[in-house]
Amino acid sequence: MSHGAPTPFDVTAPLSLRCRGGMAKVLAACFPHPFGLLYLDTFWHLKRPEDAAHLLHGELHGEGPWRIGDCVIAVLGCHNTDPDLAEPFAAWRTYLESDDAAHTYPPPEQIRDIARRLGASV
């Protein structure tokens, strides 16, 4: 990746992940990792750790969309460019805006601490 190029870690908009084989999901968070990219699923904090955090191995390339391994990370499309992810994103956004999230979702520093414990470079 060229120096100064934006990375998915700099983006505050929702991100999508699509991998060869058809996997597609909305990312709750992602972090640089010495082996590639660590990401958290939506509703990760309600799952078992082994089901909530994932590591994509490889070097991150691009300036948006970004590629790593056989996957592409992009800003979640609007205007029906990611219709299959509209419902999962809406559910996640609704949760984040709810009173439940205000009481149960970890604050950003705690999320970064969790990512560090999983080996992320944050």
The mean pLDDT of the chain is 90
Please tell me the distance from the alpha carbon of residue 68 to that of residue 105, in angstroms, as a whole number: 28
pLDDT of residue 74: 93
Q: Which residue has the higher pLDDT, 66 or 64?
A: 66
| DSSP string covering 5-62 | ---TTT--S-EEEEETTS-EEEEEEEEEETTEEEEEETTGGGS-HHHHEEEEES--EE
Residue 11 identity? V
Q: Is the pLDDT of residue 86 over 70?
A: yes
- Whether residue 82 lies inside any domain: the answer is yes
**Is 121 inside any structural domain?**
no
Q: What is the pLDDT of residue 78?
A: 62
**Total domains, the chain:** 1
Residue 122 in domain: no
Model confidence at 2, pLDDT cuts 50, 70, 90, reads very low
Range of the domain at 60: 15-116
Q: Tell me if 111 is assigned to some domain.
A: yes
In a domain, 2, yes or no: no
